[in-house]
Amino acid sequence: MIKKIVSLLCLSVILGGLLSACSTTQKITNSSRTATEQLLISEAVTRSLPKQVDLPFPIPRGAIVKLDVTGMTPDKDMAKGVIAGWLGFLGYTVQDGAENATHRLNIVVDSLGTEMGNTFFGIPPVQASLIPISLPELSLYKAEHQSGYARFHFDIFEMPSGRFIASSSPFIADTFYNAYTVLFLINFNKTDLTSPPRIGTFIKPLK
């Protein structure tokens, strides 16, 4: 009986060691947001802005515009910078101060961030309580779906009177980055991001 228990313990230790050797430990990020998450948000903002130079806009071209931003996300300042560059591309002079400004454009960030969901089929991580052995996650199939979303609009005012002129239609766009694991070790991803970061040796090249 004792021999059987010892044999089972040894077998468990060996099996746990082999399974642990087949797993990978990855530190997700050293920054507040991963590089992929930053791209999901910034590219969503960029894609929401039309590229037509002749876009109709209730501010005359060449006007000096004071740019403000309102929103519940700390990423609103990044969105403000992207939009400032876009307005400059259209021919406007953009500034933070009110001096010599003919119009004030308030960017109202309705939503800006990421969403994540996952699908998992396999054995979740196991931490034994009686025997000091832990088993890593064993994924027959695992999918992590992450998307970026941007929605904002402009409120336009005349300066220096502060008279309200108009509100724009919403600017909306999204992005995605999906990571997959099949049969424990085969990893690949699909995304519409431009030049996303790649981690690991089994990641399928992006086209």
pLDDT in tens, 109-119: 999 999 999 98
The answer to whether the CB of 77 falls within 8 A of the CB of 186 is no
Burial of 48 (0-12, 13-18, 19+ CB in 10 A): buried
Q: What pLDDT digit, counting tens, does each position of 73-88 carry?
A: 999 999 999 999 999 9
Query: Which pTM was predicted?
Result: 0.75
Q: Which residues contact 8 (CB under 8 A, 6 or more apart)?
A: none
34-191 adopts what CATH topology? Rossmann fold (3.40.50)
CA distance 93 to 102: 10
pLDDT of residue 1: 57
Q: What pLDDT digit, counting tens, does each position of 179-203 carry?
A: 998 887 888 889 999 988 876 544 4
Mean pLDDT of the chain: 83
